[in-house]
Chains A and B, each alone.
Chain A
Protein backbone atom coordinates (compact mmCIF):
# COMPACT_ATOMS: atom_id res chain seq x y z
CA UNK A 1 0.00 0.00 0.00
CA UNK A 2 2.64 2.49 1.08
CA UNK A 3 5.04 1.08 -1.49
CA UNK A 4 3.15 2.50 -4.45
CA UNK A 5 2.90 5.73 -2.56
CA UNK A 6 6.66 5.93 -2.12
CA UNK A 7 7.42 4.80 -5.65
CA UNK A 8 5.34 7.54 -7.15
CA UNK A 9 6.80 10.15 -4.82
CA UNK A 10 10.35 8.97 -5.49
CA UNK A 11 9.62 9.00 -9.18
CA UNK A 12 8.40 12.55 -8.90
CA UNK A 13 11.40 13.81 -6.96
CA UNK A 14 14.17 12.10 -8.92
CA UNK A 15 12.88 13.10 -12.31
CA UNK A 16 14.79 16.24 -13.24
CA UNK A 17 13.18 19.35 -14.60
CA UNK A 18 14.01 18.54 -18.21
CA UNK A 19 12.02 15.38 -18.20
CA UNK A 20 9.22 17.25 -16.49
CA UNK A 21 9.18 19.89 -19.17
CA UNK A 22 9.17 17.30 -21.94
CA UNK A 23 6.29 15.55 -20.24
CA UNK A 24 4.33 18.75 -19.86
CA UNK A 25 4.88 19.57 -23.55
CA UNK A 26 3.66 16.13 -24.51
CA UNK A 27 0.64 16.62 -22.25
CA UNK A 28 -0.15 19.93 -23.94
CA UNK A 29 -0.37 18.30 -27.35
CA UNK A 30 -2.56 15.52 -26.15
CA UNK A 31 -4.80 17.65 -23.94
CA UNK A 32 -6.50 19.37 -26.89
CA UNK A 33 -7.48 16.02 -28.33
CA UNK A 34 -8.50 14.56 -24.98
CA UNK A 35 -10.37 17.69 -23.94
CA UNK A 36 -13.26 16.96 -26.27
CA UNK A 37 -13.27 13.29 -25.35
CA UNK A 38 -13.13 14.32 -21.72
CA UNK A 39 -16.13 16.58 -22.08
CA UNK A 40 -18.19 13.91 -23.79
CA UNK A 41 -17.33 11.24 -21.25
CA UNK A 42 -17.92 13.70 -18.42
CA UNK A 43 -21.41 14.37 -19.69
CA UNK A 44 -22.16 10.69 -20.18
CA UNK A 45 -21.10 9.97 -16.62
CA UNK A 46 -23.10 12.93 -15.37
CA UNK A 47 -26.14 11.60 -17.17
CA UNK A 48 -25.58 8.22 -15.52
CA UNK A 49 -25.30 9.82 -12.08
CA UNK A 50 -28.50 11.78 -12.58
CA UNK A 51 -30.30 8.72 -13.91
CA UNK A 52 -29.28 6.76 -10.82
CA UNK A 53 -30.44 9.63 -8.60
CA UNK A 54 -33.77 9.50 -10.44
CA UNK A 55 -34.06 5.74 -9.90
CA UNK A 56 -33.52 6.32 -6.17
CA UNK A 57 -35.77 9.35 -5.82
CA UNK A 58 -38.69 8.48 -8.07
CA UNK A 59 -40.12 5.59 -5.98
CA UNK A 60 -39.91 7.79 -2.88
CA UNK A 61 -41.54 10.69 -4.70
CA UNK A 62 -44.23 8.29 -5.93
CA UNK A 63 -44.80 7.09 -2.36
CA UNK A 64 -45.36 10.65 -1.12
CA UNK A 65 -47.61 11.66 -4.04
CA UNK A 66 -49.65 8.45 -3.97
CA UNK A 67 -50.16 8.77 -0.23
CA UNK A 68 -52.55 11.58 -1.09
CA UNK A 69 -54.50 9.63 -3.70
CA UNK A 70 -57.61 7.52 -3.46
CA UNK A 71 -57.41 3.79 -4.09
CA UNK A 72 -58.95 4.21 -7.54
CA UNK A 73 -56.34 6.69 -8.61
CA UNK A 74 -53.41 4.70 -7.29
CA UNK A 75 -54.70 1.75 -9.29
CA UNK A 76 -55.74 3.46 -12.51
CA UNK A 77 -53.56 6.55 -12.68
CA UNK A 78 -50.15 5.25 -11.60
CA UNK A 79 -48.02 8.11 -12.89
CA UNK A 80 -50.20 11.18 -12.59
CA UNK A 81 -50.73 13.61 -9.75
CA UNK A 82 -53.90 13.16 -7.68
CA UNK A 83 -56.97 14.96 -9.04
CA UNK A 84 -58.08 15.54 -5.46
CA UNK A 85 -55.33 15.76 -2.84
CA UNK A 86 -56.46 13.52 0.02
CA UNK A 87 -54.44 15.08 2.82
CA UNK A 88 -56.85 13.45 5.24
CA UNK A 89 -55.12 10.11 4.51
CA UNK A 90 -52.46 11.26 6.96
CA UNK A 91 -54.96 12.01 9.69
CA UNK A 92 -56.65 8.66 9.06
CA UNK A 93 -53.34 6.77 9.16
CA UNK A 94 -52.33 8.56 12.35
CA UNK A 95 -55.57 7.83 14.17
CA UNK A 96 -55.90 4.29 12.82
CA UNK A 97 -52.82 3.03 14.61
CA UNK A 98 -49.68 4.73 13.37
CA UNK A 99 -49.70 7.13 16.33
CA UNK A 100 -49.53 4.20 18.73
CA UNK A 101 -46.67 2.54 16.85
CA UNK A 102 -44.96 5.90 16.59
CA UNK A 103 -44.94 6.54 20.34
CA UNK A 104 -43.94 2.93 21.07
CA UNK A 105 -40.98 3.36 18.73
CA UNK A 106 -40.14 6.68 20.34
CA UNK A 107 -40.21 5.17 23.84
CA UNK A 108 -38.17 2.10 22.91
CA UNK A 109 -35.64 4.17 20.96
CA UNK A 110 -35.17 6.77 23.70
CA UNK A 111 -34.77 4.28 26.54
CA UNK A 112 -32.38 2.21 24.43
CA UNK A 113 -30.28 5.29 23.68
CA UNK A 114 -30.06 6.33 27.35
CA UNK A 115 -29.08 2.85 28.50
CA UNK A 116 -26.58 2.27 25.68
CA UNK A 117 -24.81 5.59 26.24
CA UNK A 118 -24.76 5.22 30.02
CA UNK A 119 -23.74 1.56 30.27
CA UNK A 120 -21.46 1.74 27.23
CA UNK A 121 -19.54 4.81 28.35
CA UNK A 122 -19.10 3.40 31.86
CA UNK A 123 -17.64 0.18 30.46
CA UNK A 124 -15.44 2.17 28.06
CA UNK A 125 -14.19 4.19 31.06
CA UNK A 126 -12.97 1.07 32.83
CA UNK A 127 -11.58 -0.47 29.66
CA UNK A 128 -9.58 2.61 28.76
CA UNK A 129 -8.28 3.64 32.20
CA UNK A 130 -7.31 0.39 33.88
CA UNK A 131 -4.92 -2.35 32.92
CA UNK A 132 -4.97 -5.90 34.20
CA UNK A 133 -5.41 -9.38 32.87
CA UNK A 134 -9.12 -9.21 33.74
CA UNK A 135 -9.53 -5.99 31.77
CA UNK A 136 -7.98 -7.66 28.72
CA UNK A 137 -10.39 -10.56 29.05
CA UNK A 138 -13.30 -8.14 29.37
CA UNK A 139 -12.13 -6.30 26.26
CA UNK A 140 -11.98 -9.49 24.19
CA UNK A 141 -15.38 -10.48 25.59
CA UNK A 142 -16.74 -7.13 24.38
CA UNK A 143 -15.12 -7.17 20.94
CA UNK A 144 -16.30 -10.75 20.43
CA UNK A 145 -19.86 -9.50 20.88
CA UNK A 146 -19.65 -7.68 17.55
CA UNK A 147 -19.29 -10.98 15.73
CA UNK A 148 -22.50 -12.40 17.17
CA UNK A 149 -25.64 -11.89 15.19
CA UNK A 150 -29.25 -11.63 16.38
CA UNK A 151 -30.48 -14.31 13.97
CA UNK A 152 -28.58 -17.05 15.75
CA UNK A 153 -29.83 -15.92 19.15
CA UNK A 154 -33.47 -15.49 18.12
CA UNK A 155 -34.88 -18.76 19.48
CA UNK A 156 -32.89 -18.87 22.74
CA UNK A 157 -33.75 -15.22 23.38
CA UNK A 158 -37.40 -15.98 22.80
CA UNK A 159 -37.21 -18.83 25.35
CA UNK A 160 -35.30 -16.69 27.83
CA UNK A 161 -37.62 -13.68 27.56
CA UNK A 162 -40.65 -15.94 27.91
CA UNK A 163 -39.11 -17.42 31.04
CA UNK A 164 -38.40 -13.90 32.38
CA UNK A 165 -42.01 -12.94 31.63
CA UNK A 166 -40.77 -10.14 29.42
CA UNK A 167 -42.10 -11.42 26.12
CA UNK A 168 -44.71 -9.05 24.70
CA UNK A 169 -43.35 -6.06 26.64
CA UNK A 170 -41.20 -3.17 25.45
CA UNK A 171 -38.43 -4.41 27.73
CA UNK A 172 -37.96 -7.44 25.49
CA UNK A 173 -36.88 -5.04 22.76
CA UNK A 174 -35.02 -2.55 24.92
CA UNK A 175 -32.86 -5.13 26.72
CA UNK A 176 -31.91 -6.99 23.55
CA UNK A 177 -31.30 -3.80 21.57
CA UNK A 178 -29.03 -2.51 24.33
CA UNK A 179 -27.09 -5.78 24.40
CA UNK A 180 -26.53 -5.84 20.64
CA UNK A 181 -25.56 -2.16 20.45
CA UNK A 182 -23.13 -2.28 23.39
CA UNK A 183 -20.06 -3.89 21.78
CA UNK A 184 -19.74 -1.35 18.96
CA UNK A 185 -20.60 1.54 21.28
CA UNK A 186 -18.00 0.51 23.85
CA UNK A 187 -15.30 0.13 21.22
CA UNK A 188 -16.03 3.52 19.65
CA UNK A 189 -16.16 5.35 23.00
CA UNK A 190 -13.11 3.53 24.37
CA UNK A 191 -11.03 4.58 21.35
CA UNK A 192 -12.08 8.17 22.03
CA UNK A 193 -11.40 7.95 25.79
CA UNK A 194 -7.88 6.66 25.09
CA UNK A 195 -7.11 9.93 23.31
CA UNK A 196 -7.99 12.05 26.37
CA UNK A 197 -4.76 13.33 27.97
CA UNK A 198 -3.93 11.78 31.35
CA UNK A 199 -2.80 15.12 32.85
CA UNK A 200 -6.41 16.25 33.01
CA UNK A 201 -7.45 13.51 35.38
CA UNK A 202 -4.25 13.80 37.43
CA UNK A 203 -5.00 17.41 38.22
CA UNK A 204 -8.58 16.43 38.97
CA UNK A 205 -7.42 13.78 41.43
CA UNK A 206 -5.22 16.35 43.16
CA UNK A 207 -8.27 18.59 43.39
CA UNK A 208 -10.01 15.74 45.22
CA UNK A 209 -12.21 14.54 42.40
CA UNK A 210 -13.55 11.00 42.83
CA UNK A 211 -13.38 8.27 40.18
CA UNK A 212 -17.01 8.90 39.39
CA UNK A 213 -16.30 12.61 39.15
CA UNK A 214 -13.53 11.99 36.62
CA UNK A 215 -15.95 9.97 34.53
CA UNK A 216 -18.88 12.34 34.81
CA UNK A 217 -17.10 15.71 34.82
CA UNK A 218 -14.08 15.11 32.58
CA UNK A 219 -14.52 12.13 30.29
CA UNK A 220 -18.19 12.52 29.37
CA UNK A 221 -18.18 16.26 28.56
CA UNK A 222 -15.04 15.87 26.46
CA UNK A 223 -16.56 13.03 24.47
CA UNK A 224 -19.66 14.75 23.15
CA UNK A 225 -18.81 14.12 19.44
CA UNK A 226 -18.44 10.37 19.84
CA UNK A 227 -21.50 10.24 22.08
CA UNK A 228 -23.55 11.98 19.40
CA UNK A 229 -22.27 9.40 16.92
CA UNK A 230 -23.36 6.64 19.31
CA UNK A 231 -26.78 8.22 19.77
CA UNK A 232 -27.32 8.50 16.02
CA UNK A 233 -26.20 4.91 15.41
CA UNK A 234 -28.41 3.59 18.19
CA UNK A 235 -31.42 5.64 17.11
CA UNK A 236 -30.98 4.41 13.56
CA UNK A 237 -30.84 0.82 14.74
CA UNK A 238 -33.65 0.91 17.30
CA UNK A 239 -36.06 2.88 15.12
CA UNK A 240 -35.68 0.50 12.17
CA UNK A 241 -35.15 -2.90 13.82
CA UNK A 242 -37.60 -5.43 12.44
CA UNK A 243 -36.91 -9.03 13.43
CA UNK A 244 -36.95 -8.80 17.24
CA UNK A 245 -39.84 -6.34 17.00
CA UNK A 246 -41.85 -8.89 15.02
CA UNK A 247 -41.00 -11.98 17.07
CA UNK A 248 -40.93 -10.63 20.62
CA UNK A 249 -44.06 -8.49 20.49
CA UNK A 250 -47.40 -9.93 19.58
CA UNK A 251 -49.83 -7.35 20.91
CA UNK A 252 -50.79 -4.70 18.38
CA UNK A 253 -50.90 -2.00 21.07
CA UNK A 254 -47.23 -2.53 21.90
CA UNK A 255 -45.78 -2.86 18.41
CA UNK A 256 -43.16 -0.45 17.12
CA UNK A 257 -43.37 1.13 13.68
CA UNK A 258 -41.45 -1.44 11.59
CA UNK A 259 -43.49 -4.41 12.77
CA UNK A 260 -46.66 -2.37 13.32
CA UNK A 261 -46.72 -1.38 9.64
CA UNK A 262 -47.28 -5.05 8.75
CA UNK A 263 -50.39 -5.19 10.95
CA UNK A 264 -51.43 -1.85 9.55
CA UNK A 265 -51.23 -3.19 6.01
CA UNK A 266 -53.24 -6.30 6.87
CA UNK A 267 -55.92 -4.23 8.59
CA UNK A 268 -56.29 -1.78 5.72
CA UNK A 269 -56.54 -4.30 2.85
CA UNK A 270 -57.12 -1.96 -0.10
CA UNK A 271 -56.96 1.44 1.55
CA UNK A 272 -53.61 2.03 -0.12
CA UNK A 273 -53.56 5.80 0.20
CA UNK A 274 -53.74 5.49 3.98
CA UNK A 275 -51.12 2.74 4.01
CA UNK A 276 -48.75 4.92 1.97
CA UNK A 277 -49.41 7.84 4.31
CA UNK A 278 -48.48 5.60 7.24
CA UNK A 279 -45.29 4.59 5.46
CA UNK A 280 -44.34 8.23 4.91
CA UNK A 281 -44.97 9.03 8.58
CA UNK A 282 -42.77 6.06 9.56
CA UNK A 283 -39.92 7.18 7.32
CA UNK A 284 -39.90 10.93 8.02
CA UNK A 285 -38.26 11.18 11.49
CA UNK A 286 -35.14 9.20 10.58
CA UNK A 287 -34.73 10.93 7.21
CA UNK A 288 -34.92 14.35 8.84
CA UNK A 289 -32.64 13.37 11.72
CA UNK A 290 -30.06 11.79 9.45
CA UNK A 291 -29.98 14.48 6.79
CA UNK A 292 -28.77 16.78 9.57
CA UNK A 293 -26.64 14.31 11.47
CA UNK A 294 -25.41 12.25 8.53
CA UNK A 295 -21.81 13.17 9.33
CA UNK A 296 -22.04 11.40 12.68
CA UNK A 297 -23.74 8.32 11.28
CA UNK A 298 -21.18 7.89 8.52
CA UNK A 299 -18.33 8.40 10.92
CA UNK A 300 -19.70 5.83 13.32
CA UNK A 301 -20.44 3.31 10.61
CA UNK A 302 -17.05 3.60 8.97
CA UNK A 303 -15.06 3.52 12.21
CA UNK A 304 -17.19 0.68 13.45
CA UNK A 305 -16.76 -1.33 10.29
CA UNK A 306 -13.00 -0.97 10.18
CA UNK A 307 -12.51 -1.72 13.86
CA UNK A 308 -15.18 -4.38 14.04
Chain B
Protein backbone atom coordinates (compact mmCIF):
# COMPACT_ATOMS: atom_id res chain seq x y z
CA UNK B 1 0.00 0.00 0.00
CA UNK B 2 2.68 2.47 1.04
CA UNK B 3 4.95 1.42 -1.81
CA UNK B 4 2.16 1.95 -4.32
CA UNK B 5 1.34 5.36 -2.91
CA UNK B 6 5.00 6.31 -3.13
CA UNK B 7 5.05 5.57 -6.81
CA UNK B 8 1.88 7.54 -7.37
CA UNK B 9 2.99 10.68 -5.56
CA UNK B 10 5.79 11.83 -7.88
CA UNK B 11 3.45 11.46 -10.83
CA UNK B 12 0.65 13.32 -9.05
CA UNK B 13 3.06 16.09 -8.07
CA UNK B 14 4.24 16.74 -11.59
CA UNK B 15 0.93 16.19 -13.36
CA UNK B 16 -0.54 19.70 -12.85
CA UNK B 17 2.49 21.45 -14.29
CA UNK B 18 2.65 19.08 -17.26
CA UNK B 19 -1.02 19.78 -17.92
CA UNK B 20 -0.47 23.54 -17.76
CA UNK B 21 2.53 23.40 -20.08
CA UNK B 22 0.85 21.01 -22.47
CA UNK B 23 -2.47 22.83 -22.70
CA UNK B 24 -1.34 26.44 -22.65
CA UNK B 25 2.13 26.33 -24.21
CA UNK B 26 2.64 23.29 -26.45
CA UNK B 27 -0.84 22.74 -27.89
CA UNK B 28 -1.13 26.43 -28.94
CA UNK B 29 2.24 26.15 -30.64
CA UNK B 30 1.14 23.17 -32.71
CA UNK B 31 -2.27 24.73 -33.26
CA UNK B 32 -0.55 27.84 -34.61
CA UNK B 33 1.32 25.84 -37.26
CA UNK B 34 -1.92 24.13 -38.18
CA UNK B 35 -3.80 27.45 -38.38
CA UNK B 36 -1.21 28.84 -40.77
CA UNK B 37 -2.60 26.59 -43.50
CA UNK B 38 -6.20 27.74 -43.11
CA UNK B 39 -8.26 30.79 -43.78
CA UNK B 40 -10.65 31.71 -40.98
CA UNK B 41 -12.03 34.51 -38.86
CA UNK B 42 -12.45 34.80 -35.09
CA UNK B 43 -15.96 33.44 -34.77
CA UNK B 44 -16.24 31.45 -37.96
CA UNK B 45 -17.26 27.86 -37.26
CA UNK B 46 -15.21 26.44 -40.15
CA UNK B 47 -11.69 26.81 -41.40
CA UNK B 48 -10.92 26.72 -45.08
CA UNK B 49 -7.76 24.86 -46.09
CA UNK B 50 -5.54 27.08 -48.24
CA UNK B 51 -2.21 25.23 -48.21
CA UNK B 52 0.89 27.35 -48.35
CA UNK B 53 -0.86 30.42 -49.74
CA UNK B 54 -0.53 32.37 -46.47
CA UNK B 55 3.23 31.86 -46.61
CA UNK B 56 3.37 32.93 -50.26
CA UNK B 57 1.44 36.04 -49.27
CA UNK B 58 3.83 36.54 -46.34
CA UNK B 59 6.94 36.70 -48.48
CA UNK B 60 5.32 39.09 -50.97
CA UNK B 61 3.92 41.38 -48.27
CA UNK B 62 5.76 44.70 -48.11
CA UNK B 63 4.47 45.42 -44.59
CA UNK B 64 6.05 42.19 -43.34
CA UNK B 65 9.33 43.41 -44.81
CA UNK B 66 8.96 46.83 -43.14
CA UNK B 67 8.10 45.17 -39.85
CA UNK B 68 11.00 42.75 -40.07
CA UNK B 69 13.44 45.57 -40.83
CA UNK B 70 12.05 47.51 -37.86
CA UNK B 71 12.59 44.47 -35.64
CA UNK B 72 16.17 44.28 -36.87
CA UNK B 73 16.72 48.00 -36.20
CA UNK B 74 15.29 47.38 -32.75
CA UNK B 75 17.73 44.54 -32.22
CA UNK B 76 20.81 46.41 -33.43
CA UNK B 77 20.16 49.58 -31.45
CA UNK B 78 19.26 47.54 -28.36
CA UNK B 79 22.47 45.55 -28.59
CA UNK B 80 24.47 48.77 -28.76
CA UNK B 81 22.75 50.46 -25.83
CA UNK B 82 21.48 47.63 -23.67
CA UNK B 83 24.45 45.34 -24.08
CA UNK B 84 27.55 47.36 -24.97
CA UNK B 85 26.67 50.53 -23.06
CA UNK B 86 25.19 48.58 -20.13
CA UNK B 87 28.40 46.56 -19.78
CA UNK B 88 30.47 49.75 -19.62
CA UNK B 89 28.00 51.23 -17.16
CA UNK B 90 28.10 48.12 -14.96
CA UNK B 91 31.91 48.15 -15.00
CA UNK B 92 31.98 51.78 -13.92
CA UNK B 93 29.43 51.17 -11.16
CA UNK B 94 31.48 48.24 -9.84
CA UNK B 95 34.73 50.24 -9.89
CA UNK B 96 35.83 51.18 -6.38
CA UNK B 97 36.21 54.82 -7.44
CA UNK B 98 32.42 55.10 -7.35
CA UNK B 99 31.87 52.77 -4.42
CA UNK B 100 29.97 55.37 -2.43
CA UNK B 101 27.54 56.58 -5.05
CA UNK B 102 27.07 53.29 -6.98
CA UNK B 103 24.37 51.63 -4.79
CA UNK B 104 22.21 54.72 -5.13
CA UNK B 105 22.72 54.98 -8.91
CA UNK B 106 22.02 51.26 -9.32
CA UNK B 107 18.56 51.68 -7.81
CA UNK B 108 17.85 54.82 -9.85
CA UNK B 109 18.79 53.16 -13.12
CA UNK B 110 16.62 50.19 -12.19
CA UNK B 111 13.43 52.13 -11.38
CA UNK B 112 12.03 52.23 -14.95
CA UNK B 113 12.36 48.44 -15.14
CA UNK B 114 9.89 48.10 -12.27
CA UNK B 115 7.23 50.26 -13.87
CA UNK B 116 4.60 48.73 -16.12
CA UNK B 117 5.15 49.30 -19.82
CA UNK B 118 1.75 50.94 -20.21
CA UNK B 119 2.65 53.63 -17.65
CA UNK B 120 6.02 54.21 -19.35
CA UNK B 121 4.44 54.37 -22.79
CA UNK B 122 1.75 56.83 -21.68
CA UNK B 123 4.48 58.93 -20.07
CA UNK B 124 6.46 58.95 -23.31
CA UNK B 125 3.34 60.02 -25.14
CA UNK B 126 3.63 63.18 -23.05
CA UNK B 127 7.37 63.43 -23.67
CA UNK B 128 6.99 63.11 -27.45
CA UNK B 129 3.85 65.28 -27.65
CA UNK B 130 4.45 67.81 -30.45
CA UNK B 131 2.72 70.71 -28.66
CA UNK B 132 3.66 70.49 -25.00
CA UNK B 133 6.03 67.50 -24.98
CA UNK B 134 9.06 67.54 -22.71
CA UNK B 135 11.43 66.71 -25.54
CA UNK B 136 10.39 69.58 -27.82
CA UNK B 137 10.09 71.99 -24.88
CA UNK B 138 13.61 71.04 -23.89
CA UNK B 139 14.92 71.63 -27.40
CA UNK B 140 13.22 75.04 -27.37
CA UNK B 141 14.75 75.81 -23.99
CA UNK B 142 18.28 75.23 -25.25
CA UNK B 143 17.64 77.09 -28.52
CA UNK B 144 17.38 74.06 -30.79
CA UNK B 145 13.70 74.41 -31.68
CA UNK B 146 14.62 73.79 -35.31
CA UNK B 147 15.18 70.16 -34.31
CA UNK B 148 11.75 69.83 -32.70
CA UNK B 149 9.60 67.24 -34.45
CA UNK B 150 6.30 65.44 -33.99
CA UNK B 151 8.41 62.42 -33.03
CA UNK B 152 5.65 59.82 -33.11
CA UNK B 153 3.67 61.37 -35.95
CA UNK B 154 6.55 61.43 -38.39
CA UNK B 155 7.13 58.33 -40.50
CA UNK B 156 10.92 58.65 -40.42
CA UNK B 157 11.27 59.17 -36.66
CA UNK B 158 8.42 57.09 -35.20
CA UNK B 159 10.23 53.75 -34.96
CA UNK B 160 13.32 55.42 -33.49
CA UNK B 161 11.18 57.23 -30.91
CA UNK B 162 9.73 53.86 -29.89
CA UNK B 163 13.17 52.25 -29.77
CA UNK B 164 14.56 55.16 -27.71
CA UNK B 165 11.87 54.61 -25.09
CA UNK B 166 12.80 50.93 -24.84
CA UNK B 167 16.43 51.85 -24.26
CA UNK B 168 15.45 54.31 -21.56
CA UNK B 169 13.44 51.64 -19.79
CA UNK B 170 15.70 48.62 -20.19
CA UNK B 171 19.31 49.76 -19.84
CA UNK B 172 19.04 49.43 -16.06
CA UNK B 173 17.84 45.84 -16.38
CA UNK B 174 20.78 44.53 -18.41
CA UNK B 175 23.18 46.68 -16.36
CA UNK B 176 21.96 44.84 -13.27
CA UNK B 177 22.57 41.45 -14.90
CA UNK B 178 26.10 42.54 -15.80
CA UNK B 179 26.73 43.79 -12.26
CA UNK B 180 25.84 40.33 -10.95
CA UNK B 181 28.28 38.78 -13.44
CA UNK B 182 31.08 41.25 -12.65
CA UNK B 183 30.74 40.62 -8.93
CA UNK B 184 31.66 36.99 -9.55
CA UNK B 185 35.04 37.89 -11.08
CA UNK B 186 37.87 37.11 -8.62
CA UNK B 187 39.28 40.39 -7.26
CA UNK B 188 42.88 39.12 -7.52
CA UNK B 189 42.72 39.45 -11.29
CA UNK B 190 42.31 43.20 -11.01
CA UNK B 191 44.92 43.48 -8.26
CA UNK B 192 47.44 41.63 -10.40
CA UNK B 193 46.63 43.83 -13.37
CA UNK B 194 47.08 46.90 -11.21
CA UNK B 195 50.54 45.80 -10.14
CA UNK B 196 51.38 45.19 -13.79
CA UNK B 197 50.37 48.78 -14.43
CA UNK B 198 47.48 47.94 -16.75
CA UNK B 199 45.10 50.90 -17.10
CA UNK B 200 41.36 50.78 -16.54
CA UNK B 201 40.59 50.46 -20.23
CA UNK B 202 43.01 47.57 -20.69
CA UNK B 203 41.58 45.90 -17.58
CA UNK B 204 38.11 46.23 -19.09
CA UNK B 205 39.08 44.52 -22.35
CA UNK B 206 41.52 41.97 -20.92
CA UNK B 207 39.75 40.98 -17.71
CA UNK B 208 36.13 42.15 -17.49
CA UNK B 209 35.02 41.29 -21.02
CA UNK B 210 36.52 37.77 -21.15
CA UNK B 211 35.33 37.01 -17.61
CA UNK B 212 31.70 37.97 -18.29
CA UNK B 213 31.74 36.35 -21.74
CA UNK B 214 28.87 34.01 -20.96
CA UNK B 215 26.67 36.71 -19.46
CA UNK B 216 27.52 38.93 -22.40
CA UNK B 217 26.34 36.30 -24.80
CA UNK B 218 23.17 35.46 -22.89
CA UNK B 219 22.26 39.13 -22.48
CA UNK B 220 22.81 39.68 -26.16
CA UNK B 221 20.45 36.83 -27.02
CA UNK B 222 17.81 38.01 -24.52
CA UNK B 223 17.99 41.46 -26.08
CA UNK B 224 17.82 40.23 -29.66
CA UNK B 225 14.97 37.80 -28.95
CA UNK B 226 13.10 40.55 -27.10
CA UNK B 227 13.58 42.88 -30.07
CA UNK B 228 12.24 40.30 -32.51
CA UNK B 229 9.13 39.80 -30.33
CA UNK B 230 8.50 43.41 -29.33
CA UNK B 231 4.80 44.18 -29.09
CA UNK B 232 3.82 46.44 -26.18
CA UNK B 233 5.96 49.47 -26.94
CA UNK B 234 5.02 50.04 -30.60
CA UNK B 235 1.42 48.93 -29.98
CA UNK B 236 0.79 51.50 -27.24
CA UNK B 237 2.86 54.39 -28.64
CA UNK B 238 2.03 54.29 -32.33
CA UNK B 239 0.05 51.13 -33.12
CA UNK B 240 2.53 50.64 -35.95
CA UNK B 241 1.88 54.03 -37.51
CA UNK B 242 1.93 56.51 -39.04
CA UNK B 243 1.03 54.26 -41.95
CA UNK B 244 3.10 51.17 -41.27
CA UNK B 245 6.31 53.04 -40.46
CA UNK B 246 6.76 51.70 -36.94
CA UNK B 247 5.19 48.27 -37.51
CA UNK B 248 6.81 45.25 -35.91
CA UNK B 249 6.02 41.59 -36.63
CA UNK B 250 4.04 41.08 -33.41
CA UNK B 251 1.96 44.23 -33.89
CA UNK B 252 1.27 43.20 -37.48
CA UNK B 253 0.19 39.75 -36.34
CA UNK B 254 -2.16 41.29 -33.79
CA UNK B 255 -3.65 43.73 -36.33
CA UNK B 256 -4.14 41.04 -38.97
CA UNK B 257 -5.71 38.68 -36.46
CA UNK B 258 -7.90 40.87 -34.31
CA UNK B 259 -8.64 43.90 -36.51
CA UNK B 260 -8.61 42.62 -40.07
CA UNK B 261 -9.86 39.23 -38.89
CA UNK B 262 -7.42 37.30 -41.07
CA UNK B 263 -6.67 34.74 -38.38
CA UNK B 264 -4.98 32.34 -40.81
CA UNK B 265 -2.63 34.97 -42.16
CA UNK B 266 -1.90 36.25 -38.65
CA UNK B 267 -0.95 32.68 -37.71
CA UNK B 268 1.50 32.58 -40.60
CA UNK B 269 3.09 35.80 -39.28
CA UNK B 270 3.27 34.16 -35.84
CA UNK B 271 4.97 31.14 -37.40
CA UNK B 272 7.56 33.45 -38.93
CA UNK B 273 8.14 35.04 -35.50
CA UNK B 274 8.51 31.59 -34.00
CA UNK B 275 11.07 30.47 -36.56
CA UNK B 276 13.14 33.64 -36.14
CA UNK B 277 13.19 33.43 -32.33
CA UNK B 278 13.67 29.64 -32.27
CA UNK B 279 16.91 30.07 -34.18
CA UNK B 280 18.24 32.38 -31.47
CA UNK B 281 16.94 30.10 -28.72
CA UNK B 282 18.75 27.12 -30.25
CA UNK B 283 21.98 29.10 -30.39
CA UNK B 284 21.50 29.93 -26.73
CA UNK B 285 20.90 26.30 -25.69
CA UNK B 286 23.94 25.21 -27.67
CA UNK B 287 26.23 27.85 -26.19
CA UNK B 288 25.03 27.63 -22.58
CA UNK B 289 25.26 23.84 -22.88
CA UNK B 290 28.91 23.95 -23.91
CA UNK B 291 29.53 26.59 -21.25
CA UNK B 292 28.66 24.06 -18.56
CA UNK B 293 31.15 21.48 -19.84
CA UNK B 294 34.08 23.83 -19.43
A: residues with CB less than 8 A from B are 1-2, 4-5, 8-9, 11-12, 20, 23-24, 26-27, 30, 42, 45-46, 49, 52-53, 55-57, 59-60, 62-63, 66, 74-76, 78-79, 119-120, 122-123, 125-127, 129-130, 135, 138, 141-142, 145, 147-149, 151-160, 162, 175-176, 178-180, 182-183, 186, 210-212, 215, 236, 239-240, 242-243, 247, 257-259, 261-262, 265, 272, 275-276, 279, 282-283, 286-287, 290-291, 294, 298-299, 301-302, 305-308
Contacts and interface: CB of A to CB of B under 8 A. Distances in A.
Nearest to B280: A147
B111 to A, nearest CB: 6
Interface stretch (B49-57, B60-68, B113-121, B151-159): B113-121
A302 to B, nearest CB: 4
A96 B271 CA distance: 41
Given A46-B101, A52-B89, A63-B126, 18 more contacts: A1-B294, A8-B193, A8-B207, A125-B10, A135-B10, A147-B278, A149-B225, A149-B229, A154-B270, A155-B35, A175-B20, A211-B10, A258-B117, A261-B116, A261-B122, A287-B111, A291-B107, A302-B177
Given A78-B134, A242-B118, A261-B118, A56 B27 contact: no
A301 B177 contact: yes
A152 B270 contact: yes
Given A23-B196, A130-B10, A290-B114, A152 B119 contact: no
Contacts of A27: 197
B112 A56 contact: yes
Contacts of B115: 60, 240, 283, 286-287
Contacts of B172: 56
- 3 closest residue pairs by CB, A with B: A179-B24, A156-B28, A153-B28
Given A23-B196, A176-B24, A182 B118 contact: no
Contact of A126 (B14, B42, B108, B222): B14
A306 B215 contact: yes
Contacts of B101: 46, 49
A12 B122 contact: no
A290 to B, nearest CB: 4
A53 B108 contact: yes
Interface in B230-280: 231-232, 235-236, 250, 253-254, 257-258, 263, 266-267, 270-271, 273-274, 277-278
Interface of B: 5-6, 9-11, 13-14, 16-18, 20-21, 23-29, 31-32, 35, 42, 89, 92-93, 97-98, 101, 105, 107-112, 114-119, 122-124, 126-127, 131-132, 134, 137, 141, 168, 172-173, 176-177, 180-181, 186, 188-189, 192-193, 195-197, 206-207, 210-211, 213-215, 218-219, 222, 225, 229, 231-232, 235-236, 250, 253-254, 257-258, 263, 266-267, 270-271, 273-274, 277-278, 281, 284-285, 288, 294
Most buried by A among B114, B192, B222, B250: B114
Given A23-B197, A119-B17, A142-B21, A242 B116 contact: yes
B231 A247 contact: no
Contacts of A75: 131-132
B261 to A, nearest CB: 11
A11 B192 contact: yes
B24 A306 contact: no
Tell me what chain A mostly uses at the interface: helix, strand, loop, or mixed: helix
B238 to A, nearest CB: 14
Nearest to A272: B126
A154 B123 CA distance: 27
A30 B199 CA distance: 12
B119 A305 contact: no
